[in-house]
Amino acid sequence: MLLGFVILYLVVSIGIGIYAATKVHTAKDYIAAGRSLPIYIVMAMVFATWFGAETVLGIPATFMEEDMAGLISDPFGASLCLILFGLFFARKLYRMNLLTIGDFYRERYDRKVEVVTGIAIALSYLGWVSAQVTALGLVFNVLSDGVITQQQGILIGAAVVLMYTLYGGMWSVALTTFFQMIIIVIGLIYIAGLLSDMTGGVAPVIEHAANSGKFHFWPEMNGVAMVAFLSGLLTMGFGSIPQQDVFQRANSSKNENVAVWGTVLGGAAYFLFAAVPLFMAYSANLIDPLLAGKWLTTDSQKLLPELVKGHLPLFAQVVFYGALLSVIMSTASGTLLAPSVTISENVIKDFITRRKHLPDHKLLVITRWVVAVFTVLVTIYSLWSLEQQTGIHQMVENAYKVTLVLAFVPLVAGLYWSRASTRGAYWAIALGLLTWIPMEIWLPESDGPIPPQFAGFLMAILGMLVGSLTDRRPGRAR
């Protein structure tokens, strides 16, 4: 019966996505929803896209295994990204009337910078979308009591998300996300209330976590620990700023004020509400210590789903799994569309047209094909990551290293430094990449004094400074 309710929910989501497809007439409709969305829709998209599988399954699992310091990248870094983007980037980029974030690199620098950063941005999504698809596989596996394997669940989940994203694009993302955000908020608050009744309130859970040292957050006062702490914050806090999904939500707004405050409010809501799954998962220590011990030693990501399934009535289970699917699918659809748009607009289009004008309807067809192909790649990567036993939280953390190293510095310098030049962008990308990749291979984060992506980020700053200051040609300031 529970699986039947879940299937019904999936059908409703697909129906909303198909309805949204009727609003798509141009590539701009598909990519930016006609730049017509009000603040409550923008805020909902920002919140629901980032409130993904890692927030409900990955972050609590990390918190249970480690402590609050393990969450420095997400939700702390993720919330920092959204608020910074809203305050310092949304207005400037909105005024440029771009179709994708990759278009900025072409207008401010040149075509080569656009292609390199576009590829980097698209690659960064592989881990994030795969985390959502992997979570869908986990949910189907738990719901079916193992009848559906996690591998089979991944295939089913990828097909469902592709089905309602492929034709409706940003309109599908907007309408389904708004519906899904309502389910997320109401559902998780309801479940948290039931669990708090079983623990005697919120206070006993917090007290138990505090006594267990779970609220340890700040690093040791030594150079290596502090650099690692800062790197964890900035990898997602800065690395996820030059991302198509963040830009796309702001760019879909009906005006620049909506772009700014929809993003800021969505980021603040994400940070505050991320505490709810932490409370829910940790309450297992008080409700069923044996269950908590079992899943912490096997697969901590399954603890919360198994707790709900084993201790709450059927209606509550339906609400929880509906909310969980809303969480995963809202993130999966948005993060599937974003890299596909970047690849079609900033990488493929010029190679096909050879710098001639591409009719709008052909760009729309290309984008939809890329969505389909990218879904296949995501599915393959998800299956491979499952074999490697890569956690959902870790998959998301790894996603932003490439954009921190290659795309963040040229974006900030291009917006805020008039001397930033194309040569500076070349140097930033080259030095960042040549520092990060070798260190990632031969001196990974666990072995070296400084995380590889943080070293690459610092070298990218140096490259931008040296390249621009030695370039006598003026930069194209914005």
Cα atoms found within 13 Å of the Cα of residue 387, Cβ hemisphere only: 5
Given this model, what pLDDT does residue 478 score?
A: 46
Q: For residues 174 and 168, what is the distance between their CA atoms, to the nearest angstrom? A: 10
pLDDT digits (tens, 9 = 90+) for 278-288: 999 999 999 99
Q: In this prediction, what percent of the chain has a pLDDT beyond 90?
A: 35
Residue 160 pLDDT level (bands cut at 50, 70, 90): confident
pLDDT of residue 222: 81
Please report the pLDDT score of residue 397 as a whole number.
65
Where in 314-450 does DSSP place strands (E)?
none
Look at 33 and 376; give whichever has higher pLDDT.
376
145 CB burial (10 A radius; 0-12, 13-18, 19+): exposed
Report the candidate in 171, 206, 187, 125 with the shortest Cα–Cα distance to residue 20: 171
Residues 6+ apart with CB under 8 A from 135: 52, 53, 57, 58, 157, 301, 328, 392
For the cut 80, the answer to whether the pLDDT of residue 475 exceeds it is no
pTM here?
A: 0.85
Q: What is the per-residue pLDDT across 172-229, written as a single tens digit (0 to 9) for each?
A: 777 777 777 788 788 889 999 999 999 999 999 999 999 988 998 888 878 778 888 8
DSSP state of 253: B
Q: Considering the chain, what is the average pLDDT of its residues?
A: 85
Which of 28-32, 228-232, 303-307 is predicted least confidently? 28-32
Min mean pLDDT across 72-76, 100-104, 398-402 is at: 398-402
Q: Determine the pLDDT at residue 287.
A: 93
